[in-house]
């Protein structure tokens, strides 16, 4: 009997091991060495000027009055990603040239080694840039010279559960601190001068499959941060902490539990709500006048098997408007009720006014461009902005008709799971009155099957496979007054970089093959490009110091490339930040 | 196979004696059912293969990763975990290569270099990595902080010593703080029935 023989072998080995069960004596060596920080072994001085001390929520609310700075994730609370800086304009942008580059590289082993990426939006305050990377890195850089002022790296475990890539989308700055979320869901408040941690708060459970990628948002005296992990059957939430002390002020779950409003949209007799997803992995926007916070919610869980969660599955794949003081949900709108395509709803909600009406514009992964009244969430209009075959949404009533669903044998649907637009953000230019969105034209096969839930393990309810060979991308400009497309610029590969609109009449964006582009905001004509040498999947920003305008863009391919550009899954990974400006002669001319 | 039937009582007696005699020894703990159930053919094959890669330039160029054993760090009265790591001569490994902390916190490691070449230890900690020089036949101390459960790698950044075997792991056990956890019923974890 093989089993008996194995047991006997093991016993014999154990008895024999008695003979060798002794420990060799080790020589004692004198302790002569103590450790040093790697961060003390670089050219950085270790200190940044105290520019962050005066940044407050009130100042962020007036961010557009200090266009030299990029004070918050979207540049301003309204999420417009628009700057009034106009030194670089349509007439001189062709002369734009690199001012400096920052290269981080990777030392040692890294979680998600094939998919770490540089996705951040740099923050700039009075000549100092704060930017975050993969694996818990944050850097303070001189925004004029690119010189590194300090580096911080949080210890992040190799086995941290990540949906997709080891990425981070940026920091928040206020009250003399730099706030950021680590992949293992620590909210860290660093002293902006010395980079020493002031407080550290764990805000999600990595054992449950939670993680973090979003840039936190400062609102009043709070620092608000979203969670990731809806691919692991978590229960998404948004957390707010006192920005001075790190004490928790509130947590709001995006999936209601029994007895709470919205629970009627979940099965009443199962624990489906407890694995219902709805994470908050992209930074929200804020209207200080209405005192409402607008935050997108991720896919319900499991992603593709809707059979175990019949109902609309609130508040997943939608937007919630929250009272920032206590986190209570004031209204909600669901972009994709009962989402079975991983369409999420986390894309930005851009706040702007039209004909005296307070509006919210949202390009969803599901391929529809929504316009809402942001006071109450009433739909103004929903129009298609890319190929959609999963279903239809009535333009005026918003009624959703699902046309297909994932099947065990596979269902082909457009858009794919990365959406017609991934998280990289659209921009709104008050100068042109147009919205500019990156577009992914890529369909996919979705399969569905039962997945047994186990905490901390992928909970997809089967799988999705992008359909290669018929994909492209581009930037499209839309008129929010009509919902009509005004122009489109088609690219070979999907565009997964945010757009940046400026008063110079320009729209900046980047391509997955590394070209950083400047387009004419009125026509979409390409006016300038620079090859950064690595795919761009980040947030370009603009700022100025001493009268010189700069444009900055992180360049570092990775993330969930398999989902949005599978043809570029094997492209090189980079870790650089490029900053551009005009030659000084032209800067002087433009200032005159 | 009738002989198996007569062999079992003898084997059981030996088992009891061995377990009793070795209850305080790691070798004895090898006989726990949970360990024996791990000894599937692939694990046995790996263990049998180890002597072939027990010295550099035998079957492969150097050593298998994380070869050098495991140790549970001791928690001191001051709340700091401590352990010692030795670098033996001509092995290119850390002994032990896996350090276990039963919960997050501070870990103080004393490294001794018994090798005839210079090494360094590049260690994970909050705020950035720490670097410890290890001249020949000298020792050094590094204190690091790891707050959350997970695997944290360390290695020797000299030449390709890490790739040749000088990679190690600090394993942090434990749970995240209660207020970070999800408000939901207790959920099954992988392996639970």
Residues B171-181: tens digit of each pLDDT: 999 999 999 99
Preceding peptide of A112 cis, ω within 30°: no
In this complex, do A206 and B176 lie within 8 Å of one another by their Cβ atoms? yes
Range in A232-236, A241-245, B88-92, B113-117 the model is least confident about? B88-92
Q: Say what the pLDDT of residue B42 is.
A: 81
Regarding predicted confidence, which is higher, A281 or B15?
Answer: A281
Mean pLDDT to the nearest integer, A556-581: 94
Nearest to A206 among B11, B86, B150 (CB): B150
At residue B24, the 3 state secondary structure works out as coil
Mean pLDDT to the nearest integer, A467-478: 95
The nearest CA of chain A is from the CA of B77 a distance in Å of 22
Chain B window 100-139: which residues touch A at a Cβ cutoff of 8 Å? 110, 112-114, 121-135, 137-139
In this complex, do B126 and A197 lie within 8 Å of one another by their Cβ atoms? yes
CA B30 – CA B36 distance, rounded (Å)? 7
Name the region of A468 (left: φ>0; alpha: ψ -120 to 50; beta: rest): beta
Residues 6+ apart with CB under 8 A from B19: B28, B31
Closest residue, chain A, to B37 (C-alpha): A7
Mean pLDDT to the nearest integer, A561-568: 93
- A52 pLDDT exceeds 70? yes
- A20 pLDDT exceeds 90? no
Q: What DSSP string describes B33-101?
A: HHHHTT--HHHHHHHHHGGGGSSTTSSSSS--TT-S-EEEPEEPTTSEEEEEEEE-TTT---BSSEEEE
Residues 6+ apart with CB under 8 A from A208: A229, A232, A234, A455, A456, B181, B182, B187
pLDDT tens, residue by residue, A262-274: 999 999 999 999 9
C-beta separation of A301 from A323 below 8 A: no
Q: Say what the pLDDT of residue B1 is.
A: 45
Helix (H) or strand (E) holding A182: none
Rounded to a whole number of angstroms, the distance between the first and last alpha carbons of chain A is 94
Please report residues of A whose CB lies closer than 8 A to that of B181. 205, 208
Query: What tokens were used for A591?
Result: 């200032």
CA A558 – CA B164 distance, rounded (Å)? 28
- Mean model confidence pLDDT for chain A: 94
C-beta separation of A275 from A301 below 8 A: yes
The nearest CA of chain A is from the CA of B92 a distance in Å of 16
- B31 pLDDT exceeds 90? no
Q: Say what the pLDDT of residue A592 is.
A: 55
Helix (H) or strand (E) holding B5: helix B3-21
Per-residue exposure over B52-90, b if at least 16 CB sit within 10 Å of its own CB, e if not? ebeeeeeeeebbbbbbbeeeebeeeeeeebbbbbbbbee
Mean pLDDT to the nearest integer, A176-202: 97
Nearest to A29 among B112, B144, B175 (CB): B112
Mutate to test the interface with A, among B41, B182, B187 (most CBs of A within 10 A): B182
- B14 pLDDT exceeds 70? yes
Helices A2-19 and B3-21: crossing angle in degrees, nearest 10, is: 30
Any chain A CB within 8 A of the CB of B179? yes
Q: Say what the pLDDT of residue B58 is.
A: 80
Chain B window 31-50: which residues touch A at a Cβ cutoff of 8 Å? 31, 36, 39
> What band does A21 get if pLDDT is binned at 50, 70 and 90?
very low
Preceding peptide of A415 cis, ω within 30°: yes
pLDDT > 90: what percent of chain A? 91
In this complex, do B123 and A35 lie within 8 Å of one another by their Cβ atoms? yes
Q: Checking DSSP bridges between strand B70-72 and strand B98-101, what pairing results, if any? A: parallel
What ipTM score was computed for the predicted complex, to two decimals?
0.90
Any chain A CB within 8 A of the CB of B72? no
> What band does A585 get if pLDDT is binned at 50, 70 and 90?
confident
In this complex, do A274 and B132 lie within 8 Å of one another by their Cβ atoms? no
> What band does A1 get if pLDDT is binned at 50, 70 and 90?
very low
A394 is catalytic: no
pLDDT tens, residue by residue, A73-118: 999 999 999 999 999 999 999 999 999 999 999 888 999 888 899 9
């Amino acid at each position: 009997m093989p089993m008996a023989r194995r047991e006997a072998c093991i016993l014999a080995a154990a008895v024999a091991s008695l003979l060798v069960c002794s420990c060799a004596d080790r020589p004692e060596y004198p302790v002569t060495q103590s450790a040093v920080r790697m961060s003390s072994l670089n050219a950085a001085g270790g200190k940044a000027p105290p520019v962050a001390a005066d940044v407050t929520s009130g100042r962020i609310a007036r961010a557009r009055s200090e266009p030299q700075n990029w004070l918050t994730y979207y540049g301003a609370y309204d999420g417009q990603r628009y700057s009034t800086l106009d030194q670089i304009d349509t007439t001189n942008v062709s002369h734009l040239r690199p001012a400096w580059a920052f290269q981080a590289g990777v030392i040692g082993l890294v979680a998600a080694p094939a998919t770490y990426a540089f996705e951040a939006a740099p923050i700039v305050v009075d000549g100092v840039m704060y930017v975050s990377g993969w694996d818990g890195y944050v850097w303070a850089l001189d925004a004029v010279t690119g010189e590194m002022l300090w580096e911080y790296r949080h210890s992040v475990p190799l086995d941290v559960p990540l949906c997709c890539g080891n990425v981070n989308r940026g920091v928040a700055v206020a009250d003399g601190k730099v706030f950021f979320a680590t992949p293992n869901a620590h909210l860290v408040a660093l002293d902006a001068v010395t980079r020493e941690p002031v407080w550290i708060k764990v805000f999600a459970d990595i054992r449950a499959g939670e993680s973090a990628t979003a840039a936190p948002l400062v609102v009043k005296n709070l620092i608000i941060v979203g969670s990731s992990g809806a691919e692991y059957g978590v229960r998404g939430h948004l957390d707010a902490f006192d920005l001075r002390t790190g004490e928790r002020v509130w947590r709001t779950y995006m999936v209601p539990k029994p007895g709470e409003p919205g629970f009627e949209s979940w099965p009443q007799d199962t624990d489906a709500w407890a694995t219902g997803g709805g994470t908050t992995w992209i930074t929200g926007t804020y209207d200080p006048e209405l005192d409402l916070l607008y935050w997108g919610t991720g896919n319900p869980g499991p992603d593709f098997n809707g059979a175990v969660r019949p109902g609309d599955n609130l508040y997943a794949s939608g937007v919630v408007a929250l009272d920032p003081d206590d986190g209570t949900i004031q209204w909600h709108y669901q972009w994709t009720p009962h989402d079975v395509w991983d369409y999420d709803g986390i894309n930005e909600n851009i706040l702007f006014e039209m004909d005296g009406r307070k509006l919210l514009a949202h390009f969803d992964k599901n391929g529809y461009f929504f316009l809402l009244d942001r006071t109450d969430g009433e739909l103004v209009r929903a129009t298609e902005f890319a190929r959609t075959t999963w279903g239809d949404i009535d333009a005026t009533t918003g009624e959703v008709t699902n046309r297909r669903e994932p099947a065990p044998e596979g269902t082909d649907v457009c858009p794919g799971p990365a959406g017609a637009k991934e998280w990289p953000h659209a921009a709104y230019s008050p100068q042109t009155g147009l919205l500019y969105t990156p577009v992914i034209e890529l369909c996919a096969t979705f399969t569905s099957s039962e997945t047994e839930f186990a905490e901390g393990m992928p909970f997809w309810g089967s799988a999705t496979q992008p359909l290669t060979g018929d994909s492209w991308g581009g930037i499209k400009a839309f008129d929010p007054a009509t919902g009509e497309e005004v122009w489109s610029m088609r690219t070979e590969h999907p565009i997964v970089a945010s757009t940046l609109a400026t008063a110079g009449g320009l729209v900046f964006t980047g391509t997955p093959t590394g070209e950083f582009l400047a387009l004419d905001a009125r026509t979409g004509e390409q006016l300038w490009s620079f090859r950064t040498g690595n795919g761009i999947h980040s947030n370009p920003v603009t700022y100025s110091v001493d009268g010189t305008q700069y444009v900055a863009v992180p360049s570092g391919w990775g993330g969930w490339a398999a989902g949005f550009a599978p043809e570029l899954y094997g492209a090189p990974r980079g870790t650089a930040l490029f900053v551009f400006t005009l030659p000084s002669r032209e800067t002087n001319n433009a200032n005159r | 196979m009738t002989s198996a039937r007569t062999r079992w009582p003898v084997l059981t007696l030996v088992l009891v004696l061995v377990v009793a005699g070795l209850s305080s020894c790691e070798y004895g703990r090898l006989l726990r059912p949970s360990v024996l159930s791990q000894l599937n053919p692939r694990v046995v094959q790996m263990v049998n293969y180890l002597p072939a890669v027990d010295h550099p330039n035998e079957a492969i160029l150097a050593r298998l990763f994380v070869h050098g054993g495991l140790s549970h760090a001791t928690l001191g009265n001051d709340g700091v975990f401590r352990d010692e790591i030795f670098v033996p001569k001509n092995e290119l490994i850390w002994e032990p290569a896996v350090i276990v902390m039963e919960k997050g916190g501070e870990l103080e490691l004393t490294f001794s270099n018994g090798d005839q070449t210079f090494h360094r230890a590049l260690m994970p900690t909050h705020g950035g990595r720490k670097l410890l020089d290890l001249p020949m036949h000298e020792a050094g101390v590094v204190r690091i902080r790891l707050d959350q459960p997970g695997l944290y790698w360390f290695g020797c950044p000299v030449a390709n010593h890490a790739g040749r075997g000088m990679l190690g792991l600090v394993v942090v056990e434990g749970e995240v703080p209660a207020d970070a956890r999800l408000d939901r019923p207790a959920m099954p974890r992988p392996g639970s029935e």
